[in-house]
């Protein structure tokens, strides 16, 4: 098999796995959170275990690549302890990702999986605006049109969803607040990574080890601060079953899938993967939860999917004689 053929296979395998993960994740999260509170898992424990699993997976991948445990230890020491400035730079995204992982479960406790999948695409809108304001990143007229279409579609979906009563223990306002915070923090993390970490020569796996080593104590503190008394009473793994374990593993390894897709696939394929995930979430919600989308809900979902494809397919292309805009603020 040629190198080009292998790269193509990896590209489509990554897209397939990422689409499957984005379909299954919200459905499993909704299923495992739609229980009585006494039977639900602790979200902070789940996030802590996710960080441990991600750290183990990245360690395995680097060891497999190097084939020498001593070299691995030297590389970790060099990347983390011997380069404290670069390590300090990942503290912010590590805290952001820990916050987002907890908000993810809050959102899916109060919103159905399909509504969450669609509303969370507003992160494209918030990221584009921050990129434009802080990094002077230009957008094409098609992309501005796509962002407007995205907002209209998301508003339509939320309007359609708010007319339906959810389970007694859910609160749409909490779910919307969690999604809005996720979209905003995702945009901040995207801008930060673009500005601060883009020039780093550390591999993506080592970067994930850095983030996990910082995220672990943050997750541990969060678990002890918010749920220690309940953990002492019910045990650390209250509510854990096969589906929670599968959810945790899928969520933990999702970031590695995204890294794989970023390396091998283009933006258009990723856009189709996101759109496919929305369709999969609709079908899965119908089969598992009996969710029947209204006509206006489907119109909103279609508008969001179209906007994603347009935004990714028609990026801004600068004329040959155009001077780049200066980046605002000091370089970190």
Query: What would the DSSP string read from start to end of 261-306?
Result: HHHH--HHHHHHHHHHHHHHHHHHHHHHH-----HHHHHHHHHHHH
Alpha-carbon span 127 to 109, nearest angstrom: 25
In this structure, what DSSP letter does residue 121 have? T
Alpha-carbon span 207 to 86, nearest angstrom: 10
The confidence score (pLDDT) of residue 264 equals 63
The confidence score (pLDDT) of residue 62 equals 86
What's the pTM value of the predicted model, to 2 decimals? 0.84
Alpha-carbon span 260 to 3, nearest angstrom: 16
Smallest Cα–Cα separation from 143: which of 302, 311, 319? Answer: 311
202 in Cβ contact with 2 (< 8 Å) = no
The confidence score (pLDDT) of residue 332 equals 46
- End-to-end CA gap in the chain: 44
DSSP 198-257: TT--S-HHHHHHHHHHHHHHHHHHHHHHHHHHHHHHH-TTTT--HHHHHHHHHHHHHHHH
**Would the CA dihedral through 72, 75, 80, 86 be positive or negative?**
negative
Over the chain (332 residues), the average pLDDT of each successive run of 10 is 66 80 92 86 94 91 82 83 82 90 92 92 91 87 94 91 63 91 90 71 80 91 94 94 94 74 65 86 91 91 93 82 56 47
Alpha-carbon span 312 to 271, nearest angstrom: 6
311 in Cβ contact with 146 (< 8 Å) = yes
The confidence score (pLDDT) of residue 104 equals 94
Q: How far is CA 258 from CA 106, 250, 266, 276, in A?
A: 23, 12, 12, 15
- Rg over alpha carbons for the chain, rounded to the nearest Å, is 21
């Amino acid at each position: 098999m040629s190198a080009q053929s292998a790269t193509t296979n990896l590209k489509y395998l990554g897209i397939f796995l990422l689409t499957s993960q984005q379909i299954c994740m919200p459905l499993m999260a909704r299923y495992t959170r739609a229980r009585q509170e006494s039977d639900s898992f602790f979200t902070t424990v789940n996030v802590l275990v996710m960080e441990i699993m991600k750290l183990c997976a990245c360690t395995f991948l680097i060891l497999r690549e190097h084939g020498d445990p001593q070299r691995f230890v030297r590389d970790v020491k060099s990347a983390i302890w011997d380069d404290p400035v670069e390590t300090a730079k990942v503290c912010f995204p590590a805290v952001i990702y820990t916050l987002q992982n907890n908000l993810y479960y809050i959102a899916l406790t109060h919103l159905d999986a399909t509504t969450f999948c669609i509303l969370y695409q507003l992160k494209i809108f918030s990221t584009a605006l921050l990129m434009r304001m802080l990094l002077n990143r230009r957008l094409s007229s098609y992309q501005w049109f796509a962002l407007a279409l995205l907002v209209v579609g998301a508003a339509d979906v939320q309007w359609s969803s708010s007319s339906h009563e959810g389970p007694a223990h859910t609160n749409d306002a909490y779910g919307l607040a969690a999604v809005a915070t996720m979209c905003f923090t995702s945009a901040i993390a995207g801008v930060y990574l673009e500005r601060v970490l883009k020039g780093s020569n550390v591999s993506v796996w080592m970067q994930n080890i850095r983030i996990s080593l910082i995220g672990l104590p943050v997750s541990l503190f969060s678990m002890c601060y918010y749920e220690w008394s309940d953990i002492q009473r019910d045990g650390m793994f209250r509510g854990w079953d096969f589906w929670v374990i599968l959810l945790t593993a899928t969520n933990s390894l999702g970031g590695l899938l995204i890294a794989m897709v970023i390396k091998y696939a283009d933006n258009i394929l990723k856009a189709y993967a996101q759109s496919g995930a929305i369709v999969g979430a609709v079908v899965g919600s119908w089969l598992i939860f009996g969710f029947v989308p209204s006509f206006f809900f489907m119109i909103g979902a279609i508008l969001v999917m179209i906007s994603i494809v347009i935004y990714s397919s028609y990026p801004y292309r600068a004329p040959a004689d155009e001077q780049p805009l200066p980046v605002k603020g000091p370089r970190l």
